[in-house]
Amino acid sequence: MTAKEFSSPLRLLAHLVSYIFHPLFISTYVMGYLIFIHPYAFIDDTHKAHVLRFFNIVLCNALFPAFSVFLLWRLKFINSIMLRTVKERILPYIIAMVFYWWTWRLSIYLGYAAFAVHFLLGSFLAICGAFFCNIYFKISMHMVAMGGAVMFFFQMSFNDAYSSGLYLSLVLLIAGLVGTARLIISDHTRFQIWSGLFIGVLSQYIAWHWPF
């Protein structure tokens, strides 16, 4: 990261938004909501069980994939941990697919709430979709993740009696901020931003209607 990339307060803010809402963090944020805030998704769990479930999500959906990218960089399989090119994203996508698939399957085995199982499946499908799109063009991973979060809370707002429109509104606002941030940094074109959003939305829609 060079000083030029932080040459203006607006670009600095765009980078900050991109880091806070990094695609590897989004599933952790959503699962954190379901585990600690949602009134009945994990109502039968003790506080210790809540913490262990959340810790598992953090490990498999954020830390392990991030550490894998770091190892790929140190072993010189990729030139940058920022994954700026289509070619550099191939192995990280495959690694993320393995971890996200494992998290989804584990959620079924451990009896996670249906909302959580559907969301984790959607997250896995979103990475699969992004991987296939990556064959043809560089898609925005940030917007794939945000599209999934938007669609998940949208479906929750119509299917969950305890859901609040506040969370959907908040996620929509964040998605707009992230998309704008990615355009300001000039990492992506508008097509790549919107296609990422579409893949995320479609993946969660499919997952929500997936029979278990």
Q: How many domains does the chain have?
A: 1
Q: Which residues of the chain have pLDDT under 50?
A: 1-3
Residue type, 195: S
Quote the CA–CA distance of 88 and 78 in Å, as a whole number: 5
In 3D space, the residue among 105, 74, 73, 106 whose CA is nearest the CA of residue 92 turns out to be 73
Q: Residue 83: what pLDDT?
A: 87
User: Tell me, what's the pLDDT at 22?
Assistant: 95
CB atoms within 10 A of CB 111: 9
Is residue 33 within 8 A of residue 54, CB to CB? The reply is no
pLDDT value of residue 129? 97
Sequence letter at residue 136: Y
> What pLDDT digit, counting tens, does each position of 79-115 carry?
888 888 889 999 999 999 999 999 999 999 988 888 8
For 46: left if phi > 0, alpha if psi spans -120 to 50, otherwise beta; the answer is beta
Are the C-beta atoms of residues 209 and 114 closer than 8 Å to each other?
Answer: no
pLDDT confidence of residue 101: 97
Domain carrying residue 23 = 3-208
DSSP state of 87: G
CA distance 200 to 179: 13
Q: How far apart are the first and last CA of the chain?
A: 44
pLDDT of residue 20: 95
pTM: 0.91
